[in-house]
């Protein structure tokens, strides 16, 4: 059993990375082999619309032809039993690195058939952890669920399973006095960090346990 986590945050030791680490910790508790990949360490771009992965009888049908740092990552994913993606929410969506990664990962497997299908050869579990500085009422007001549901649809269509974990009102900084951010109450942020973030970590841990258990 191999569980791979993909960190779409530029920060390796903050909210998103911590939650992904908890997920892998849960998977390890069930005997799974785990790996955490940081996208900001890699050199790549989004889909270049070459359609090599869609060319009839082509050598790269169903495979992204671009030769960059994602090629070995895709090979690892094809051998994995579960995937966990993680990203903070920037301007109402995942980070640019994560979005470009998803373009490349998912599009190579999606088929232009009716109904759309997947060329991924197995069904595996896929999860997505989102962290955001806004509270849940703003999340609902701004319609963030739209892009989260969209991502979930594509992951389920590609891999056969998808679930999401949203973590609200997270701390952006350790020391709010260093930044111009009067919108946020540092004391409330710290209290939520102490009381709610551990619950989010536990949910991530439990996701890892579920993903490491054989269906």
pLDDT for the residue 215: 60
pTM of the predicted model over 0.85:
yes
**207, 200, 205, 210: which is closest to 166 by C-alpha?**
200
Residues with Cβ within 8 Å of 10's Cβ and at least 6 positions away in sequence, in order, are 40, 95, 97
Give CATH for domain 2-212: 3.40.50.360
pLDDT per residue as tens digits for the range 99-144: 999 999 999 999 999 898 899 989 999 999 999 988 888 888 888 8
Cα-based torsion angle of the residue sequence 107, 5, 137, 139 in order, rounded to the nearest 10 degrees: -30
Give me the residue spans of the domains in the chain. Answer: 2-212
């Amino acid at each position: 059993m191999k569980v791979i986590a993909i960190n779409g945050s530029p920060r390796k030791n903050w909210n998103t990375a911590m939650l992904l680490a908890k997920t892998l910790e849960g998977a390890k508790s069930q005997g799974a082999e785990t790996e955490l990949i940081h996208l900001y360490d890699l050199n790549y771009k989004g889909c270049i619309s070459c359609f090599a992965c869609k060319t009839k009888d082509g050598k790269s049908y169903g495979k992204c032809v671009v030769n960059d740092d994602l090629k070995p990552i895709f090979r690892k994913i094809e051998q994995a039993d579960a995937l966990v993606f993680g990203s903070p929410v920037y301007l109402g969506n995942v980070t640019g690195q994560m979005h470009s990664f998803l373009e490349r990962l998912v599009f190579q497997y999606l088929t232009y058939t009716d109904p759309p299908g997947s060329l991924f050869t197995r069904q595996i579990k896929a999860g997505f952890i989102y962290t955001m500085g806004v509270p849940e009422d703003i999340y609902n007001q701004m319609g963030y669920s739209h892009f989260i549901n969209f991502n979930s649809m594509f992951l389920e269509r590609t891999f056969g399973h998808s679930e999401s974990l949203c973590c609200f009102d997270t701390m952006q900084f350790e020391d709010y006095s260093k930044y111009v951010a009067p919108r946020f109450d540092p004391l409330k942020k710290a209290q939520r960090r102490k009381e709610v973030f551990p619950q989010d970590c536990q949910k991530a841990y439990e996701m890892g346990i579920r993903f490491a258990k054989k269906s």
